[in-house]
Amino acid sequence: MNVDIIIPTCRPAAAIQALIREIAGTRLTGGQIILTCFDASAAVNRNIGLERAGTEIVIMVDDDVERFPRGWDEVLARVRAERPSVVMASARLLRPDGADGQMLGNPERRSSGLVVVPRRELPTACVAIRNDGTQFSERFAGSGWEDTDFCARLRGLHPAGEFVVVCDVAVVHRNEMKAQAAPFERNRSAYVGVWGAHRFC
């Protein structure tokens, strides 16, 4: 199975070599590792990665994710490939101390199995999605809310689509929230202007 792995980042490639080595050493699928490295918003970098990808299913990994279990990519991609109703399959996000990390959509927390998220939204820190031309809105500055908006777009395109957490794939998300504080209210207002009020997890 070939799955391109996208790392949307505003950092230079030299700064994320440890992440690249870890992904290369734990993945089982074939395909590219695509770095974006543009001094631009998260949405712009995510879209650049999607445009460069050549596989039907792609995995998007934020540059502050680590401690991947061996074969994590294949598990995420197979869930997305073998369960047609799934529009987004996420790893279970942990904090560096091993506790459950914050996750958009407030999914049920389990150590194994598949969790379907009733709110039908997930963070895009470590997800498998279909690269079908759907892009992130570039009206969101810095980072934050672009993934919330992307999930809303997917809900509109796939009214019966499922958002799932693959609990057996647990990764650490340092959740650095780069360039997120300053444009937070602007981005929240941009989201609300399109989709209405949003309930936090």
Which amino acid is residue 16, in one-letter code? I
Please give the C-alpha separations between residue 78 and each of 59, 81, 84, 156, 174, in angstroms, as whole numbers.
Answer: 11, 5, 10, 24, 26
**Over the stretch 110-169, which tens digit does the pLDDT of each residue have?**
999 999 999 999 999 999 999 999 999 999 988 889 999 999 999 999 999 999 999 999
Phi, psi of 11 (to 5 degrees): -90, 155
- Gap between the Cα atoms of 79 and 58, Å rounded: 12
Evaluate whether 114 touches 120 at the Cβ level (below 8 Å). no
Phi, psi of 194 (to 5 degrees): -100, -45
Domain limits, the chain: 4-195
pLDDT digits (tens, 9 = 90+) for 44-74: 999 999 999 999 999 999 999 999 999 999 9
Q: Is the pLDDT of residue 197 over 80?
A: no
Helix pair 42-52, 146-157: axis angle to 10 deg: 50
CATH number given to 4-195: 3.90.550.10
pLDDT band at 184 (very low <50, low <70, confident <90, very high): confident
Task: Tell me the percentage of the chain whose pLDDT exceeds 70.
Answer: 99
What's the mean pLDDT when you consider all of the chain? 94
